[in-house]
């Protein structure tokens, strides 16, 4: 599994102009291929008079799903450079649609490749990216007396606190890098005088 990947901070649209052609790059997060396809369809609906609506998307932390379309531009001059830009920037779970309104000046294959790839790169810069790191999901069970201080200590030391549940005891859901599990176990025993119970679960990606 990938240790980490980049994804976009938010959805957004960025416009550039190349030799009187307008290139609008719309970016959106896509948790699945279906979400990516729905986003592409939505953008196409918004720009029915555009000359081209080319797209690329990457889904999966390991980029297991990759798709691109030139939408009528010469083969390999639009969708592929868009996809290459997403891959080069290691961006995952994202869909990009570049809408082109032709301005009357032909760009040639090299110009198109630079324009479509560049539109995606500029849009990524405009919306910003986040790093998602792989975490081991874990739960810490502790008595009510120690729970508040432990939660504060976890946050203060930069741990990813996912949820806190109160019942007979308090269960705190956290995310840990795999490399940190042994050190965390020792820290937890020390902090709670050995009263907390740590259970390791599956894996997920999260901030930080």
The 10s digit of each residue's pLDDT in 166-192 is 999 999 998 887 778 888 999 999 989
Summarize pLDDT for 78-119 with one digit per residue, the tens. 999 999 999 999 999 999 999 999 999 999 999 999 999 999
Summarize pLDDT for 60-88 with one digit per residue, the tens. 988 999 999 999 999 999 999 999 999 99
In the chain, ranges of CATH 3.30.70.240 domains: 131-207
**Alpha-carbon span 23 to 126, nearest angstrom:** 14
- Evaluate if residue 31 carries a pLDDT over 70: yes
Q: Which of 177, 182, 188 lies closest to 140, judged by CA?
A: 188
- Evaluate if residue 3 carries a pLDDT over 80: no
Q: How many CA atoms lie within 13 A of 52 on its CB side?
A: 22
**Alpha-carbon span 175 to 179, nearest angstrom:** 12
User: Per CATH, the architecture of 131-207 is what?
Assistant: 2-Layer Sandwich (3.30)
Superfamily of domain 4-127: Impact, N-terminal domain (3.30.230.30)
Question: What pLDDT score was predicted for residue 134?
Answer: 77
Contact (Cβ atoms closer than 8 angstroms) between residue 31 and residue 40: no
Contact (Cβ atoms closer than 8 angstroms) between residue 25 and residue 13: yes
Cα angle 60, 7, 29; round to 5: 75
Q: Which of 72, 74, 64, 126 lies closest to 96, judged by CA?
A: 126
Q: What is the pTM of this model?
A: 0.73
What tokens were used for 186? 């020792």
Question: What pLDDT score was predicted for residue 1?
Answer: 56
**Alpha-carbon span 184 to 155, nearest angstrom:** 13
What's the pLDDT band for 158 if we cut at 50, 70, 90? confident
Question: What pLDDT score was predicted for residue 65?
Answer: 95
Question: What pLDDT score was predicted for residue 207?
Answer: 62
């Amino acid at each position: 599994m990938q240790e980490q990947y980049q994804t976009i901070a938010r959805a957004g649209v960025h416009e550039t102009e190349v030799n009187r052609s307008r290139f609008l790059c719309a970016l959106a997060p896509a948790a699945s291929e279906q979400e990516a396809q729905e986003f592409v369809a939505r953008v196409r609906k918004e720009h029915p008079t555009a000359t081209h609506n080319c797209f690329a998307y990457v889904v999966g932390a390991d980029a297991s799903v990759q798709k691109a379309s030139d939408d009528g531009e010469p083969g390999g001059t639009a969708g592929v450079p868009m996809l290459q830009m997403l891959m080069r920037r290691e961006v995952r779970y994202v869909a990009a649609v570049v809408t082109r309104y032709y301005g009357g000046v032909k760009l040639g294959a090299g110009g198109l490749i630079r324009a479509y790839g560049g539109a995606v790169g500029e849009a990524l810069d405009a919306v910003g990216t986040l790093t998602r790191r792989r975490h081991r999901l874990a739960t810490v069970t502790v008595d009510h007396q120690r729970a508040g201080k432990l939660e504060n200590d976890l946050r203060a030391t930069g741990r990813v606190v996912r949820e806190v549940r109160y019942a007979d005891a308090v269960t705190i859901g956290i995310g840990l890098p795999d490399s940190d599990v042994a050190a965390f176990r020792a820290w937890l025993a020390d902090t709670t005088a050995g009263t907390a119970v740590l259970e390791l679960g599956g894996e997920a990606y999260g901030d930080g």
